[in-house]
Structure 1
Amino acid sequence: MDQNVVNTLLFGIYPYVCLTILLLGSLIRFDREQYTWKSDSSQLLRRKLLRLGSNLFHFGILIVVAGHFVGFLAPHWMVSPFLNASQHQMLAMAAGGAAGIVAIVGLSILAYRRLSDPRIRINSARADIVVLAVLWVQLALGLLTIPMSMSHMDGVMFETLSDYVKGIVTLQPEAGLLLAVPLVYKVHIALGFTIFLISPFTRLVHIWSGVSTVGYLARPQQIVRKR
């Protein structure tokens, strides 16, 4: 198959398939199977490892995700007065790299805990293991892009990726921007969209609940009456 066709299918059409399934699948699951909408915590078993791994992973991954959104979606006119393309790339590499290391260490602890303890392993669904593996590979790929980015600090690659992401968000995909991008970046991007694809069918669906907790700040005051 022609490379342009594959590139268009994978980076121009596939992202919208994944995002559509993420939204519709999540809505259907929430409507039909609300009792499965949870993270399926196993904190009663080996609680110390869970606390350590979970805190490291969630702290790191939240910074990584927020950094991706801010770094790639911030308009050039907003960033350029403070950072040029090279400086923007360096900031993304430093902050994202540090957070990525924290996240993958935490995820490795969680994977070791789940796979090494027979009690936890037997109570783990196959999807739980798949999610751990996919997330670990995705974080590893993200960290692998850092030394590659260090070989071209002119910021051109960063701006290319940023323009591609902006195109996806604004419904004006430019898959051709990724034709000359190294393979590790392409796999990282494709796997990222695949995580959206599988989320409604795994424990990852509980991410929506984490986002919705922002509404907790605007909740009505509780009335507590003493006896």
Structure 2
Amino acid sequence: MKTINLFFFGIYPYIALTVFFVGSLLRFDREQYTWKSESSQLLYSGSLRLGNILFHVGIIGLFFGHLVGLLTPVIVWDTLGISHSTKQAIAVWSGGTLGILCLIGLSLLIHRRLTSPRLAAVTQPMDKVLLVWILITLLLGLSTIFLSVEHSDGSVMVLLMNWAQHVVTLRGATGAEYLVAVPILFKAHLFMGMTLFLIFPFTRLVHVWSGFATVFYLGRAWQLVRPRH
């Protein structure tokens, strides 16, 4: 079990992050005209606006919430006088609210894509994989709320924080030890979340990078348009 735990939480994070960064760079370099979200508004606009807003507000909030919550050193919270139980309560309420918003938005987008014949016709297999993967990851995350309430002292949260901070400081092998006693539901959520980074370069999610790569994107080669004769 320790070997499996070491692989998935001590080695796998680096595999996922390597594919995430290298794959994104290669796709941007070789397939710049696939660097988009494949807008489907012209095909069918029903429920797009509401679903899109709820999904993006939820998922962006969850991303930065996880980023700050997991990577802020414990000593910072202690210095600010915020107890582990208080931080966990904040995480549960904010994460739960954002998670529900994201789930509603994602459900609307999935329903829209799968029930519209025009959208279904242009939906790629990877689009379906991505939607299902995000949905499962989200449901697992929401399910961990119940376990978090049971561990209201914040002990599990501190273990997750230590693991994440060891990973980003290249001490993954040591960090994996913190997750040995963590409930399997948390581990499943972490695995699904890390795998999102792994499949990221092969999906329409690459458009997320556009905000960071705007300058380089504007310098891409001209698109050649040839009329049919």
The normalised TM-score by structure 2 is 0.90
1:94 is matched with which residue?
93
Give CA-to-partner distance per residue, 1:140-162, whole Å, 9 cap, x none: 11000001110111110000000
Give CA-to-partner distance per residue, 1:61-91, whole Å, 9 cap, x none: 1111110011111122222223100000000
1:222 is matched with which residue?
none
Q: Which deviates further from its counterpart, 23-32 or 42-51?
A: 42-51
Moved over 3 A (4+): 210-215
C-alpha root-mean-square deviation of aligned residues, in Å? 1.4
| Ranges in structure 2 where 5+ consecutive residues have no aligned partner | 217-229
Give CA-to-partner distance per residue, 1:18-65, whole Å, 9 cap, x none: 100111111011001100111011011331411111100000111111
State whether structure 2 residue 150 is matched by structure 1 residue 145. Answer: no
Give CA-to-partner distance per residue, 1:168-227, whole Å, 9 cap, x none: 111111111111111110010011110000000111111111344699xxxxxxxxxxxx
Counterpart-to-counterpart distance in 2, 1:98 and 1:179: 29
Give CA-to-partner distance per residue, 1:104-163, whole Å, 9 cap, x none: 110000000001111100111010111100001111110000011101111100000000
Q: Sequence identity of aligned pairs in percent?
A: 47
2:62 is matched with which residue?
64
- Secondary structure of the structure 1 residue equivalent to 2:88: helix
Q: Following superposition of structure 1 onto structure 2, how do residues 138-217 of structure 1 map, counting pairs within 5 Å?
A: 138-173=137-172, 174-212=175-213
1:39 pairs, out of 37, 40, 55, with 37
The normalised TM-score by structure 1 is 0.91
Q: Which deviates further from its counterpart, 204-213 or 172-181?
A: 204-213
- Secondary structure of the structure 2 residue equivalent to 1:46: coil
Counterpart-to-counterpart distance in 2, 1:193 and 1:21: 11
- Secondary structure of the structure 2 residue equivalent to 1:47: coil
1:223 is matched with which residue?
none
Counterpart-to-counterpart distance in 1, 2:45 and 2:140: 29
2:227 is matched with which residue?
none
AA matched with 1:175: A
1:221 is matched with which residue?
none
| Ranges in structure 1 where 5+ consecutive residues have no aligned partner | 216-227
Paired residues, what number?
213
C-alpha contact 2:44 2:118 (8 A) present in aligned 1: no
AA matched with 2:109: L
1:75 pairs, out of 69, 73, 76, with 73
TM-aligned CA distance change 1:214 to 1:32, over 3 Å: closer
Counterpart-to-counterpart distance in 2, 1:111 and 1:179: 35
TM-aligned CA distance change 1:102 to 1:178, over 3 Å: same
C-alpha contact 2:99 2:138 (8 A) present in aligned 1: yes
Counterpart-to-counterpart distance in 2, 1:212 and 1:159: 34
